[in-house]
Amino acid sequence: MKLRTSLKYKLSVLAAVGSCAIAGQAVAADAAVVGNVQNARDKVSMCIGCHGIEGYKATFPELYHVPMIAGQNAKYIETALNEYKKGARSHPTMDAIAGSLSDQDIADLAAYYSNLK
């Protein structure tokens, strides 16, 4: 009997934690800028020249490796772009590109690329 009560208690604690996590996520999504995949379609023209090419190598201004961003986690892409934008991370072309993007652009692009396979 004692054992059952404690199991029941544990389950209800788990349920409470679970619903908290879900509620927390919903709040976070409300507060953040929500990315729109459709709206990203006219913005990716800036990116495909480098990120869409076979072998992921850009040839201008010199041959260098371009990371694959298709299918990456949206949060990861968003964080990377914000880091370039704010100077926490630095790369000549990405700094310039990210600097020209609004928070909405970044959210849209992150949504778009995270949905690409």
Q: Is the dihedral of CA 30, 36, 37, 43 positive or negative?
A: negative
Query: 33 or 89: whose CB is closer to ligand HEC?
Result: 89
d(CA 84, CA 47): 14
Q: Which residue, 30 or 42, is less far from ligand HEC as judged by CB?
A: 42
Residues with Cβ within 8 Å of 67's Cβ and at least 6 positions away in sequence, in order, are: 51, 56
Instruction: Specify whether the CB–CB gap between 112 and 44 falls below 8 A.
Output: yes
Q: Out of 33, 37, 39, 46, which residue is the one contacting ligand HEC (CB under 6 A)?
A: 46
Between CA 82 and CA 89 the distance in angstroms is 9
State in angstroms the smallest separation of the CB of 106 from ligand HEC. Answer: 8
CB of 1 to ligand HEC, least distance (A): 55
Rounded to a whole number of angstroms, the minimum distance from the CB of residue 87 to ligand HEC is 12
Nearer to ligand HEC, 33 or 66 (CB): 66
- φ, ψ of residue 100 in degrees (nearest 5): -90, -5
Cα 48 to Cα 78: distance, rounded to the nearest angstrom: 17
**Which range touches ligand HEC (CB under 6 A), out of 4-12, 20-28, 29-37, 48-56?**
48-56
Q: Which residues bind ligand HEC (CB under 6 A)?
A: 46-47, 49-51, 58, 64, 66-67, 69, 77, 80-81, 89, 91, 93-94, 97, 109
